[in-house]
Structure 1
Amino acid sequence: MADCTGLDSWFDDGWIGRIVKFEHPLYCSWKIVKKLEDHETRYTRDEFEHSGFYSESCCIFICCQDTENPTQAIMKIRMQIPYIGAESSSPDMRAPQARPCQRGQTSREIKALEKLTEAQCPCTPKLIAWKHENQGHDGWVPGGFLDYIVIEKLEGQTLSWELIDSLSNEQQESLRAAFKESYLSCFSHNFVNLDRGARNLIWNEEKNICYIIDWETWYRAKPSYEWDDDEYRLWGLEPS
């Protein structure tokens, strides 16, 4: 566990090099090699005790298969962390905060990616492995949830407003056309991603594919749906 004094991240350098073993859907091992980003959602003690809101941190890593011919993938780890102000408390004091069950966001993402992978959807990352366990006594919240998902590492650029704005009009038109094709492809498999935003799109300009990622919130598509160009605005892709 990291020293909470001057804490920069709940996922310290000790995670790099760690080998995580999985049993679902197949037995495999993946070694964490690089941290890409992390973010946290934190609540106060009052919010935890009276509203049931618990804090968590989610970290995205690059990992490689623990074999002689390593293949890179993305590992997302979601971990319960202490409520605000409890970082310096003893493990025994933090343990009562524990929420042991797999997070709903994790379960939803597994379900969506599992179905989309089975359907061989070409514009979403393939689900490779997943795992749920509880933190040990040396964890930030002993007994708290610790969820892992391993997905395909996609080629391309994660979109942002700055990147989109730097594209030529022709490139932006190609991007929107690729996005629409991907959106309708997911729709054909009855999935609509609700976490709209350019940050959840990866554009491979060479292959002209716009991948849709981050499937923590979604709904089942309705057969009566018709494409609406307003989706470009909702996803940050509207013409400038």
Structure 2
Amino acid sequence: MGDSPPIVPNYIDNIVPFPNGTSYELLKPLATYRSCHDGVPAEARIVLTCRQTQGNSSAENEYVMKIKIQIRGGEQRPSNSPEAGPSTTTAHELKALQKFHDARTESTPALVDFKTAVQPANGPLPGGYITFLVMSKLPGDSLFNMNYWGMPSEERKEITEKFVIALKWVYDQGIEPVDCGLRNILWDRETKKCTIIDFELWREAEEMFSDEKKELQRWGLESQPAAKNHWEAWNQMFR
């Protein structure tokens, strides 16, 4: 992949056509091209905004596209055989986003479109997959980028109240997020809307969470006692 991979790999066109006749133009990167730590087989990803090439191209028609590319595996994921895709994490996210689409979500992204393609000869693993997942674009920025703990206490209180409402809705859909953190919570100051993103890792929610304070701590929205060791820190977040 090289030491300094391009913002968008040169084997991916700027206009991405889909089997249903819709095409999307790639716009602004939201996450840089990098290897993924989770999922099988090994893959890299990049996340960008995009818009349909037909019709009005205003910001209201923007979406988010997550592109994943199979790469050669290492010790943890040794398979170097080209596969059709998608990866386990992409399949998991597809299932969640379809649920949210069917429920007409306002608290999470929803599935818009999806396709798989075969890597060309100049890809990192020729013959391996490239997947293109299009989802709705939510307003605001992540609380990590917005320096949540530097915000006024009144705003943080408002965020936590709105977040709990959004999270309860997610649980009502039978989904318990696993990858919890400020980077996966969006806040829009203009609309006062709080939403949750990134559902590559989740499990079936058997019941609603009972300890609201502990759940807020798990997501980094409230302070908690320092963990005694690495395992305890991991368990606080991922349970």
Same fold? TM cut 0.5: yes
Q: How does 1:10-159 map to 2 (within 5 A)?
A: 11-12=7-8, 14=10, 18-23=14-19, 26-38=20-32, 39-41=34-36, 54-70=41-57, 71-83=61-73, 97-159=81-143
Counterpart secondary structure, 2:217: helix
What 5-or-longer segments of structure 1 have no aligned partner?
43-52, 85-94
Amino acid at match of 1:233: Q
Whether contact under 8 Å (2:168, 2:208) holds in the other structure is no
Shift of 1:238: 0.3
Shift of 1:97: 3.6
Cα-to-partner distance string for 1:150-187 (whole Å, 9 max, x where unaligned): 11121111111761111101011001101101000111
Partner of 1:47 in structure 2?
none
Partner of 1:50 in structure 2?
none
Shift of 1:140: 1.4
Amino acid at match of 2:182: A
Question: Which of 213, 216, 234 pairs up with 2:197?
Answer: 213
Q: 2: distance between equivalents of 1:17 and 1:96?
A: 24
Whether contact under 8 Å (1:22, 1:131) holds in the other structure is yes
Amino acid at match of 1:78: K
Partner of 2:162 in structure 1?
178
Partner of 1:48 in structure 2?
none
Counterpart secondary structure, 2:100: helix
Amino acid at match of 2:25: K
What 5-or-longer segments of structure 2 have no aligned partner?
225-239
Shift of 1:231: 1.1
Counterpart secondary structure, 1:73: strand
Distance 1:221 1:19, change over 3 A: same
Shift of 1:136: 1.9
Q: 2: distance between equivalents of 1:41 and 1:105?
A: 10
Give the TM-score normalised by structure 2: 0.80
Q: 1: distance between equivalents of 2:201 and 2:164?
A: 19
Q: 2: distance between equivalents of 1:41 and 1:187?
A: 26
Larger displacement relative to structure 2 (130-139 or 178-187) = 130-139
Q: Percent identity?
A: 27
Whether contact under 8 Å (1:103, 1:145) holds in the other structure is no
RMSD, aligned CA: 2.5
Q: 2: distance between equivalents of 1:224 and 1:203?
A: 23
Whether contact under 8 Å (1:126, 1:152) holds in the other structure is yes
> Across the two proteins, how many residue pairs are aligned to each other?
214
